[in-house]
Amino acid sequence: MSERIKDYWNQRAFDSSGSLTATTQDIWLRRLEVASLIGMLETLRLPPGTRIADMGCGDGNTLLQLAQQFPDYHFMGFDYAPQMIESARAQLAAIGGLDGRVQFSVGDVNDPVASTGAGQLDVAMTDRCLINLETSAAQYAAIARIAECLKPGGLYLAIENFHEGQDAMNAARAALGLPEIPVRWHNHFFRETEFLDHMAPYFSGIMFHEFASAYYYATRVIYSGMCKMQGVEPDYDHEVHRLAVQLPPLGNFSPVRMAVMRKSA
Ligand SMILES: C[S@@+](CC[C@H](N)C(=O)[O-])C[C@H]1O[C@@H](n2cnc3c(N)ncnc32)[C@H](O)[C@@H]1O
């Protein structure tokens, strides 16, 4: 199964040939994720020289946008799909001027220390990466290794999917007679209480940022309801998506959320 998931991501990188759809069809969600990460890093006001790693960076689009936004920071991204890293390096070369501050490599989030070294990072990020690991045990083992990569007091920003938001979204869809959106075949979502229990040995000050809740409510409930009424298929590039990324956080209607936490000293 895990080889099948890796093949899937390699194939997506190949098929998307540098477009934003490499890591999800929902291109406005990707933009919202980047905007939310930029907002979070701006709030954190980290010092020059800050070292940030994106684990499971896909085609590197997120990391490259962060690198352009924060010229005083150093960035590394790794992904186990070589085709994704090829795409990331091609984009790095196309942008130009970031060499030396941004590096991409092939690596596995099950052993992130092999890619970043131990205790070297100020910030570790995963963005819809750990949901590709097949069991909760594998996910929490990976997080324990991610903690090893961080300096004491370092931050982990986890944009990952949780059942609670998915369930709330599906309940709202059901009220409009819309079918449930299932978890995809290659994904394994987190559960909040279990997640918090497993973070406690390594991290403190855990906070959830529901940056995509209003976006999911607008696109997966209201817009999907409109499409049903009109008898048309939803379009990920519809102007409702474009508008919905501008909505402030509201409620918990999104499977995707950002957990922010600090490595205990
Ligand atoms: C949904 S994509 C997200 C990519 C990127 N983080 C983004 O936000 O666009 C998931 C990525 O995780 C990578 N991935 C899955 N399992 C991995 C593992 N064990 N180690 C490293 N990368 C992995 C996949 O190759 C894919 O690029």
pLDDT digits (tens, 9 = 90+) for 235-247: 999 999 999 999 9
Task: List % helix, strand, coil for the chain (3-state, nearest 5).
Answer: 45, 20, 35
What are 29-55's pLDDT values in tens digits?
Answer: 999 999 999 999 999 999 999 999 999
Does residue 57's CB lie within 6 angstroms of at least one atom of ligand 1? yes
Q: Which domain holds residue 22?
A: 2-263
Q: Which residue among 80, 85, 159 is best mutated to probe the pocket of ligand 1, counting the most ligand atoms within 8 A of its Cβ?
A: 80
Q: From the alpha carbon of 13, which atom of ligand 1 is closest? A: 27
Say how far apart CA 62 and CA 258 lie, in whole Å.
Answer: 14
Ligand 1 centroid to Cα of residue 231, in Å, is 34
232 CA from centroid of ligand 1 (Å): 31
Q: Kindly give the distance from the C-alpha atom of residue 108 to the centroid of ligand 1, in angstroms, as a whole number.
A: 9
Starting at the edge strand found earlier in the chain, the sheet holding 121-127 runs 102-106, 74-79, 51-55, 121-127, 150-161, 256-263, 203-209
Query: Does the beta carbon of 26 lie inside 6 Å of ligand 1?
Result: no
Are 24 and 128 within 8 A, CB to CB? yes
**100 vs 149, higher pLDDT:** 149
**Residue indicated by tokens 């990952």:** 160
Ligand 1: residue whose CA is nearest its atom 10: 129
Return phi, psi of residue 261, to 5°: -150, 160
Ligand 1 atom with minimal separation from the 126 CA: 6
- Residue-level length of the chain: 265
CATH number at residue 87: 3.40.50.150
pTM of the model: 0.96
Strand ranges, E, within the chain: 51-55, 74-79, 102-106, 121-127, 150-161, 203-209, 256-263
In short, whether 109's Cβ falls inside 6 Å of ligand 1 is: yes
How many structural domains are present in the chain? Answer: 1
pLDDT band at 23, cuts 50/70/90? confident
**Confidence band (pLDDT; 50, 70, 90) for 152?**
very high
Separation of 124 CA from ligand 1 center, angstroms?
14
Q: How confident is the model at residue 246, as a pLDDT? A: 96
Mean pLDDT value across residues 93-120 = 95
